[in-house]
Amino acid sequence: LDIDTSRAERFPGVKGVITWKDIGSDKKRSFYGAIQPDEYPFAVDKVRFIGDEVAAVAAVTEECATEALKLIRVSYEPLPAVFDPEEAMKPGAPQLHEHAERNISWRLYQDLGDVDEGFRQADYVREDRFVTGLQCHAPLEPHAAVAQANQDGSLTLWASTQRPFAVSWDLAEALGVAPSRIRVIKPHVGGGFGGKMETSAVEFSAVYLARQTHRPVKVVLTREEEFLIGRRRHASTFHIKTGVKRDGTITARDCRSIFNGGAYNSLGIVAVYLSALFLNIPYRVPNIRYEALRVYTNNTPCGAMRGFGSPQTYFAVETQLDMIAEELGIDPAELRIRNGLAAGEVAANQMKIRSTGFAQSITSATELTGWHEKRKRPKAGQGIGIGCNAFVSGPRLRRLPRHTDAHAFSATLMRAHSDGNVTLLTGSADIGQGSDSILAQIAAEELGIPYEQVLVVAGDTEIAPLDYGTYGSRVTMMAGNATRSAAADLKKKILLAVAERLEVNQEDLHIRNGFVGLKDSPEVSIPFSDAVLLCQKKLGGMPAIGEGFFNPEDEGVLDIKALTERGVGNYSPAYSFGTHVTEAEVDPDTGQVEIRKITNAHDCGTPINPMAVEGQLQGSIVMGHAYTLGEEVRLDEGLMLNPNFLEYSMPTSLDACPIEIKLVDVHDPAGPFGAKEAGEGPIAPTAPAIGNAIHHATGVWVTELPIDPERLLQEMERKVTSHSPDEEEKA
């Protein structure tokens, strides 16, 4: 009803206080959120979840600011709340947003082929329900930002972000200024996992208060705040019905899902249409019907998180495939190979498969683990399970204000120095995945110089060319191709200058190991640094610059409406494929699950840096392991009860199970030097592979995440009871 900040403003040491009233009268200008904006930097008139920001204070010390916050008086009128998405859709439920009938924030409906005819052709039809829980990003570095108002009226922001340019645009929209007046610099980031894709109240507070106070302002979330207000992975419910022939060939699939979206859209709408894409790959499903609903509730908003919609989807798909395989008496690995899409095929929703190592990934993982022997002769309490997936290698779709083109592109600049070193300017963001190293390797390989001579300057909107940031495993594909293009452009200019000096054809020259020379006469060569000087002289003293750009327009025009509302369109230039085989042991007395080993075979195209790829795969697997067995967000009417590392069970390196990696090298024509996705996809098959291993060990199907030992033990006991002699006699 009212916010009184007067006491806080008078508190000694306080330099500035802001609420939504200070942002400006044009409320629409302050909206943010993907596709369908619905959120302000600060709550306007109404708070919708525990953690909705209402005010911020800048003071000379953190202690002073904390005390001043306590002096702000907010008058609330309690409103009815709803926390369960199915309850939220019922008539008469509290409505969170006026525009959302039945609290449905987004609906996707996909109807491809003839689903009813597909089920008529099926010899076996199975229908199941699967439930997944929430998951927090919990990066070691929480959201943080430092802002500075400059003498010319511009602003500089150092932010822990995955998308510097998006932050610049969002802040410009909110402040009503030109984006060029807000410089965003991404320093080294202590983890993001999708949680730092959006502009948050942290960045808004920093720039507003810096402009208001004319002082540098630092905003850093506490660990508890990070847990309470940081975006989360959606909890979901999937009802999935699949029809197959006797040989296991899939004829039709009918699915309905409900995503608990929380109080705002965030980037959650993307998770909905991505789930539709993942239902179409890696398997050949000719007839598919899918309705997906994202529902507003009075919980913390859910948004982007590593794997983005795939862990929930593949948990349902992959578990049900094992159920079908068991009913039909077909080996689960063989069932997957029979239905896998082949290179050159187009999925029902128009995704084009240019390359695939899917079958090879299954074969590799099963051979490495002795799959067939362990399936036939399992040891007591032990089981082995399989799970597969596909993932995108950079979305072709992107959203940024004032840009109407739907295609996501990357641009790169390279400058060669007279000492032989090269500076690579990119707007992409390394958030710990090692993408700066990969881009440097791509540049060095294309230029023919040592890797050590490439310096990467990334994530600075003042000096870097436009890039849409780090999400959807896009950096290697998009920025990598742009980098190779820039290196090729720079190399062409340098070789032209040397060719004129040596009076030879440019085509007769190459660059190898930092020397420019004749292809047929290696002894005729000059150092790369001398070649750069020749190029600069030819350019009249101007620097030798290479420009690179990548936009996958050759895939055709991407229909945003068809993609976001029906899940139809070739979303990515390339798709990765992978297989997990998990070996698990279940304690019959406690229901505790021990993962003895996870073996992953991943088709990442041609790996540019195999060690970095393995690190990404391992990290993704460990996160999936935790999602399946450990991490649980405990809620009481929207309040997280375990917002700390003591009670929210994050695995450490000591908790990680043994992991074996096999890289399936299948060159993809779209990727730089044949590379494609590696960092996100492997999280998705982890849960079903663990669940299927548990079933192999106990006979109990896992249909709900995270796996609760007590519930598993009850199911095991129920299964034993149902097969007891007394029960059989009654039957």
Flag whether 587 is in a domain: yes
Flag whether 104 is in a domain: no
3-state SS track over 595-643: EEEEEEEEECECCCCHHHHHHHHHHHHHHHHHHHHCCCCCEECCEECCC
End-of-domain residue from the set 494, 527, 551? 551
Domain with residue 418: its CATH number is: 3.30.365.10
Tokens for 344?
Answer: 């050159």
Give the dihedral sign, CA 365/367/371/374: negative
Flag whether 367 is in a domain: yes
CA atoms within 13 A on the CB side of 277: 27
Same domain? For 591 and 474 the reply is: no
Same domain? For 629 and 524 the reply is: no
Flag whether 516 is in a domain: yes
Same domain? For 192 and 242 the reply is: no
Same domain? For 224 and 245 the reply is: no
Q: What are phi and psi of 703, to 5 degrees?
A: -125, 5
Helical packing angle, 310-328 and 686-698, nearest 10°? 30
End-of-domain residue from the set 536, 551, 566? 551
Same domain? For 446 and 426 the reply is: yes
pLDDT at 728: 47
Same domain? For 161 and 275 the reply is: no
pLDDT at 399: 53
Q: Which has the closest alpha carbon to 543: 500, 509, 482, 493?
A: 493
Rounded Cα distance between 557 and 563, Å, is 11
pLDDT at 139: 97
Domain that holds residue 287: 232-395+558-719
Residue 324 burial class via C-beta count within 10 angstroms: exposed 0-12, middle 13-18, buried 19 and up: buried
Same domain? For 237 and 169 the reply is: no
CA atoms within 13 A on the CB side of 6: 2
Q: Structural domain tally of the chain?
A: 3
Same domain? For 216 and 246 the reply is: no
Q: Please write the tens of the pLDDT for every residue from 600-637.
A: 999 999 999 999 999 999 999 999 999 999 899 999 99
CB atoms within 10 A of CB 338: 17
Flag whether 730 is in a domain: no
Classify 676 as helix, strand or coil: coil
pLDDT at 401: 45
Same domain? For 484 and 419 the reply is: yes
Q: Which residues contact 66 (CB under 8 A, 6 or more apart)?
A: none
Rounded Cα distance between 548 and 481, Å, is 8
Same domain? For 607 and 460 the reply is: no
Same domain? For 171 and 192 the reply is: yes
Q: Residue ranges of the chain with pLDDT lower than 50?
A: 400-404, 727-731
Flag whether 288 is in a domain: yes
End-of-domain residue from the set 229, 259, 285? 229
Rounded Cα distance between 677 and 475, Å, is 9
CA 108 from chain centre, in angstroms, equals: 20
Same domain? For 527 and 604 the reply is: no
Q: Which has the closest alpha carbon to 268: 241, 238, 290, 293?
A: 293
